[in-house]
Structure 1
Amino acid sequence: MWTLSFISEEDFTKHVKKTIEKYGEKLESFDLKRFNKNIIDPIKLIFDKTVYQASWEEIVSNEIFRQRDKSNNNDIGYFHQRIFNYIDKCHVPDNGKEGGWDVIFENPDGIALPDGSVVHTIYVEMKNKHNTMNSASAGKTFIKMQNQLLTDDDCACFLVEAIAQRSQNIKWETTVDKKKVGHKLIRRVSLDQFYALVTGQEDAFYQLCMVLPSIIQKAVDELEGSIVPHDTVIDDLKVLAEKQNLDDENLAVAMAVYMLGFGSYKGFNF
């Protein structure tokens, strides 16, 4: 039985599938050539394996995960932003359109802010994590919000952070041209508080998180033929290890790893 009142199971599943499909080439299987595309650091791998008391399978799997993970944040940003296309009174402008805002929330009945102000539109700049903006980027974003308030006196501007330091909906204060600035209608808001505001349900984000694992699993099961990678790196390494003519299996795999980074180095190129 579906428990979320602010998004249908069909829409949520559709959105999760679209997010998974955004992973694109990162879902392609890893062979040894792809694994070593940017030349791995064999010394680090061997330190990690030994210090963490891991198997070669675990270390190789972790390295593949690390390489895939480097560019996944943009895909999760897609999930956090585009879900608001399915939530009442919200829409996500096309890239570069409608001022370049990530989400726009409009309520003709009014939107009450914590300080008692009431507006009818909220323009959102969304960030994955609270520490992803440097001072120049923060200043530029604040000025963009100031300009929006100058052209629309019935709105507020939110910096919404998926991973905020704490649950909050506060006046955003930052530095522009070495001066501390702030405005009651320019606010720094954690994702849970934004969900609460747009859905009218205090624990909406919590409820979404509770059903997310099962919906992701459902989507993966339905997409399995097209997305599940079958990595062959450890098998490829073991084939190379067998060619090392070493009795110690661990050292033989280590030598195969060494060859990835040091294959042309003196002593290794035998």
Structure 2
Amino acid sequence: MWNLNFISENDFKKHVVETIKKYGEKLESFNLKRFNKNIVDPIKLIFDKSVYQMSWAEIINNEIFRQRDKSNNNDIGYFHQRIFQYIKNCRVPQNGEEGGWDVIYENPNGIEIPNAGVVHTIYVEMKNKHNTMNSASAGKTFIKMQSQILDNDDCACFLVEAIAQHSQNIKWETSVDKKKVGHKLIRRVSLDQFYAMITGQKDAFYQLCMILPSVINSAVQELDNSLVPHDTVIEELRVLSEKKNFGNPDLSIAMAIYMLGFSDYEGFKNL
């Protein structure tokens, strides 16, 4: 049974599939050439393997994951933002349109803002994590929100954080030109509190999280197998290590890894 009453099963699954596709080239398989495109640090890999007591396969897979993960936050940002296009009274403007807001929520029945009365529109700037804005960026965002309220006194502006420090819906206070500023209609809101406000369901975000893993697994199974990476790095390293046969398989792989970064260094180039 589908338990989310604020988004249909088809829309939710469609959005999950589109998010997976956004992973794009990061889903491409890693061979040794791609793995070492920016030259890995062999010393770090050697330390990590020994300190964390892991196998070479585990260390290599961790490094591949790290390389893939560097730009995945943008894809998850897509998931957090674009899902609201399927939720009643919300719209997600195209990039740069309607003031560049990430989400706009309008409710003709009014929206109660804690300690600030009722408005009919909320303009949202979304962030993946609470600590991703420096002071200059925070100041610029606050000024944008302040300008929106001056243009329309029947609105509020939210900084919505997917990973907030706390579940919260509070007045946002920051610094602009080294001066502390705040406004009762400019608020810092955790994602769960935003979902609760727009759906009228207190645990809406929790319910979404509970159903998400099964929907992702189902979507991955239905997608083309080409989207599932088949990495060959460790196999290629083992082939190289056999050529560098030092009598110890562990040392032989270590030498193959050294050659990724040090092949032109003195001593190594003779190998």
**Which bin holds the TM-score, normalised by the shorter protein?**
over 0.9
Q: What residue in structure 1 maps to residue 130 of structure 2?
A: 130
Q: What residue in structure 2 maps to residue 61 of structure 1?
A: 61
Q: How does 1:111-190 map to 2 (within 5 A)?
A: 111-190=111-190
CA distance in 2, matches of 1:267, 1:176: 56
Q: What residue in structure 1 maps to residue 92 of structure 2?
A: 92
> What fraction of aligned residue pairs are identical, expressed as a percent?
77
CA distance in 2, matches of 1:263, 1:254: 13
Q: How far is the alpha carbon of 1:245 from its aligned partner?
A: 2.3
- For residues 206-249 of structure 1, give each alpha carbon's deviation from its aligned partner in whole angstroms, at most 9, with x where no partner exists: 00000000000011001142310000000000010010121100
Q: How does 1:167-246 map to 2 (within 5 A)?
A: 167-246=167-246
The DSSP-based 3-state class of the residue aligned with 2:267 is coil
CA distance in 1, matches of 2:224, 2:9: 20
Partner letter of residue 158 of structure 2? F
The DSSP-based 3-state class of the residue aligned with 1:162 is strand
CA distance in 2, matches of 1:226, 1:41: 29
TM-score by length of 1: 0.99
Q: How far is the alpha carbon of 1:116 from its aligned partner?
A: 4.9
8 A Cα contact 2:116 2:185, kept in partner: no
How many equivalent pairs are there?
A: 270
CA distance in 2, matches of 1:32, 1:261: 12
Partner letter of residue 204 of structure 1? A
CA distance in 2, matches of 1:176, 1:50: 48
Q: What residue in structure 2 maps to residue 4 of structure 1?
A: 4
Q: How does 1:23-42 map to 2 (within 5 A)?
A: 23-42=23-42
The DSSP-based 3-state class of the residue aligned with 2:184 is strand
CA distance in 2, matches of 1:100, 1:245: 59
CA distance in 1, matches of 2:166, 2:116: 22
The DSSP-based 3-state class of the residue aligned with 1:166 is coil
Partner letter of residue 198 of structure 1? I
Q: What residue in structure 1 maps to residue 70 of structure 2?
A: 70
The DSSP-based 3-state class of the residue aligned with 2:77 is helix
Q: Gaps (5+ residues) in structure 1? A: none
Give RMSD over aligned pairs. Answer: 0.6
CA distance in 1, matches of 2:120, 2:235: 59
CA distance in 1, matches of 2:258, 2:224: 34
Partner letter of residue 100 of structure 2? G
The DSSP-based 3-state class of the residue aligned with 2:127 is strand
